[in-house]
Amino acid sequence: MTLDHSVRRTSGNDTGGGTPSDVDQTTDADRALLRDAVRALLADLWPAEDYERDVSDPECLRAVWAALCAQGAASIGSAPDAGGLREVVVVLEELGRAACLAPALAAAAFHLAVGPHTDGTLGARISGGQAIPVLALDGLTGPAGVAVQDERLTGVLDLLEATEIASHLLVPLPDRNTLAVVELDASGVTVEQVRALGAAGLSRVGLDAAPYTAIALPDIAWRDLLQVARVGLAARAHGETARTFEMACEYVTQRQQFGRPVGAFQAVQHKLANSLIAVDGCGLLIRQAAGNVDRKQPDAHLTAAAAFAFASTALRRVSLETHHTFGAIGYAEEHEAPRHFKRVHVDATRLGGARAAREELAAHYLDEGGLVPDIDLGELGNAFRNEVESWLRAHWTPEERAASRRRRHEFGHDYDHEFARLIGETGWIGLSWPEEYGGQARSPRENLAYLQVMERYDAPRAGSPVHSAMIMAHGTPEQRQRFLPEILAGAALHGISYSEPDSGSDLASLRARAVRDGDEYVIDGQKIWTTTYYGEYLLVAARTDPDAHPKHAGISVFMVPSDAPGITKRIIDTMYDGSFANIFFDGVRVPASARLGPENDGWRVLTSALGTERGVVGGGQIVLSLVRLFELLCEELRGGDVARVADSVVRDAVGQLATDLEVARQLMTSCALIAEGGVSPLHEAAMTKVFASELHERFGEAVLDLLGPAATLSAGTPGALADGRFELRLRHSLMWVISLGTNEIQRTLIAQRGLGLPRR
Ligand SMILES: Cc1cc2nc3c(=O)[nH]c(=O)nc-3n(C[C@H](O)[C@H](O)[C@H](O)COP(=O)(O)OP(=O)(O)OC[C@H]3O[C@@H](n4cnc5c(N)ncnc54)[C@H](O)[C@@H]3O)c2cc1C
């Protein structure tokens, strides 16, 4: 098989940075073929065990490049039907996994910035392997390192790759309009090998009045060059890191200490769960950025900057963590890990490192007044976003919003029955339900579109998504008939009563009991922290078989009217100006028909909706509300002190938040795409919840530093910024970390379900 087959353009589904809006494209399956072909080629010509020999012998690199050229990898991007940055990313990730510096990035950057080539030109010779390029990166973001005098180049360029086999040096010139091409065997050119982080394979090139050929680049092509370099380097660093991370995950299942595999220790599991979030988040963002560049999206430069900024810091952290996980064995040079450590650290610091990328993001948000670009949710999702927005503009006027705020203040909680009934008329409460239950059978991405606009318009939540999912999955026909229509109409709300004073994370240890008495159950016990205590129904988990083993067995779930005789509520104020309730059940009688799912099978009912709860409800809501807050923060900064906006510390912090927000959005969207594929995202939803909730906390803390004491003033206090929303969200953010299963519990789940690490 040749790579030419893999990079052909076909139409089809794409979930790696592509969406259904992207009609003419190479499919994921094509890219998987490309990946496999490059991986096989490298295993043959650049095997891990011969790395030292290969890296010191230019003939090995020449053989790799010749093989890649023969299979078409050197021509990706050279013509409209020759693939794009998404295919380049695949090749570079594989080169990263092999710690091989074959010049795929230089070739792709040349093609993608300079455009299609005719026979005999440098581009055509690069594609054919007769000319081998090396790209000088530094001039793209900082001083070029060279000066032009009398149409010759003088200066020093550092950390150049593959010079031992290269024929042409590509130098972006400081005028930002020219790519200088220097023949490496020309007069005035000297090449000296350097070691960076102790690794070989890099060079310093001296130019002393060296002749060059100029290729004119329009302004836009300069930006293309930078985007390709950022995404390409991030992809290679991602491959480098992913390889060591996978090795570490494998190692911890084998290595035994204290009589068990070290991967069973929670400290190791949580470290690797964090790493998985970083590695996957980075991979998603890189693919999105590459797709945006290929589709020539106007915001492609922002995604590319975010991808590089995140890769630069997160992958280095993962690299350190994986080394800690290996212990001393990974410290030996004969192990594969050190070469990846060196490579990822060199790659991550190129192009001005994360700082320069974050500055580009800060310029967009602080100088240009830019908003967070909408995620491409596919044709249907994008259209639905517009439809919901039109509806809200018509029905959710500023006067309505103010009235709703007053109502919510009056109720003492964040639910507005009037609004719920209004939106109930649209049918959108059941937008993702199957049509047989009165729903609209819309996709998870349409659901995201809906949540996004509702958040943008500060609309209160409506519906009971977790309960309706459970009722549809486990309810009897009568239960569906009874409960679903009123939820759909916004007329009924259901609360969750699972937690008990002694059963938080360890929910399976709950003690509330439901005893069968004829056609009824009698419930006794105490529930705690029920947020939606004011709903018409409570979903109560209770033990129906006290002797069952394991303790997960013997639990059943009931839908209990919240005003049933025997229920007492003690309402408690929460630290975010809301409330939840302790609820006492004292001989509460419910008919047997109130049981949801079979007796003693409640655990399956409870856990079946966890993906919905954490992914779309939890993760989605957290991320989308953060987008809105981030825009408010930037608005606040722009409208304030000019010196503050110019402060590099402020700009870097804004760039950092924008980067993390982009990662959170990718994790959230990937859950929707997984769900669209018919699979419930479990560890992926947990990853979104962990990353987004902790970002929410970081955001709240950062705002206090960026805006100062005025940001601490609460709603209603004169001088409160954004009517106190920033400080309120900081107080609220803790809830996201603790509830829906604490982040420690989530990390354990990610490690055991996502990485397959042992339980003991
Ligand atoms: C604002 C808010 C609203 C809530 N709303 C509801 C609701 O509507 N209905 C409802 O039923 N519940 C609700 N909860 C409760 C929530 O589900 C629990 O808080 C959560 O399950 C954690 O339980 P806990 O608070 O008892 O903490 P604990 O389980 O006691 O945990 C304390 C600490 O120990 C850690 N820990 C515990 N076990 C482990 C372990 N095995 N490994 C590692 N670390 C561990 C936790 O991560 C945490 O850091 C709400 C909570 C909050 C904060």
Q: What is the pLDDT of residue 18?
A: 39
Q: Round to whole Å and give the CA distance between 2 and 745.
A: 46
Distance 672 CA to ligand 1 centre (A): 26
N residues, the chain? 760
Residue whose CA is at the smallest distance from ligand 1 atom 43? 744
Mutate to test the pocket of ligand 1, among 268, 505, 697 (most ligand atoms within 8 A of CB): 505
User: Ligand 1: which atom is nearest the Cα of residue 734?
Assistant: 53
Q: What is the pLDDT of residue 299?
A: 93
From 161, 613, 662, 694, the catalytic residue: 613
Q: What is the pLDDT of residue 383?
A: 97
Q: Which ligand 1 atom minimizes the distance to the CA of 498? A: 11
Q: What is the pLDDT of residue 612?
A: 64
> Long-range contacts of range 113-116, CB-CB < 8 Å, 24 or more positions apart?
113/179, 113/217, 113/221, 113/222, 113/224, 113/225, 113/228, 114/179, 114/215, 114/217, 114/221, 115/221, 116/78, 116/79, 116/80
pTM: 0.94
Residues 6+ apart with CB under 8 A from 436: none
Query: Which ligand 1 atom is at minimum distance from the Cα of 506?
Result: 29
* Distance from residue 268's CA to the centre of ligand 1 (Å): 22
Residue 733 Cα to ligand 1 midpoint, Å, equals 14
- Asked if residue 670 lies in contact with residue 448, where contact means CB atoms within 8 angstroms, the answer is no
Distance of CA 686 from the midpoint of ligand 1 (Å) = 15
Q: Which atom of ligand 1 is nearest to the CA of 578?
A: 1
Residue 409: per-residue pLDDT: 75
**19 C-alpha vs ligand 1 centroid, how far in Å?**
37
Give residues (CB < 6 A) around ligand 1. 496-499, 504-505, 529-531, 574, 580, 735, 738-739, 742, 744-745, 748
Please list the rounded mean pLDDT of every run of 10 residues in the chain (760 residues): 33 36 64 95 91 85 96 91 94 97 96 82 94 92 87 95 96 90 97 93 96 90 93 98 98 98 98 98 97 94 98 98 97 93 95 96 97 92 96 92 82 84 96 95 93 90 89 96 96 95 96 97 98 95 94 94 97 92 98 97 87 66 91 95 96 98 95 87 92 96 96 94 93 93 96 95
Which of 689, 731, 742 gets mutated to test ligand 1 (max ligand atoms within 8 A of its CB)?
A: 742
Which of 738, 740, 746 gets mutated to test ligand 1 (max ligand atoms within 8 A of its CB)?
A: 738
**Which structural domains are found in the chain, ordered by start?**
22-218 (2.40.110.10), 221-367 (1.20.140.10), 378-475 (1.10.540.10), 494-600 (2.40.110.10), 605-754 (1.20.140.10)
- What pLDDT, on the 0 to 100 scale, is given for residue 613? 67
pLDDT at 608: 80
**Separation CA 269–CA 608 (nearest Å):** 24
Give yes or no: 613 in active site: yes
Q: Which two tokens stand for residue 185?
A: 């065997």
Give the H/E segment covering residue 384: helix 378-395
Side-chain-side CA neighbours of residue 636 (13 Å): 23
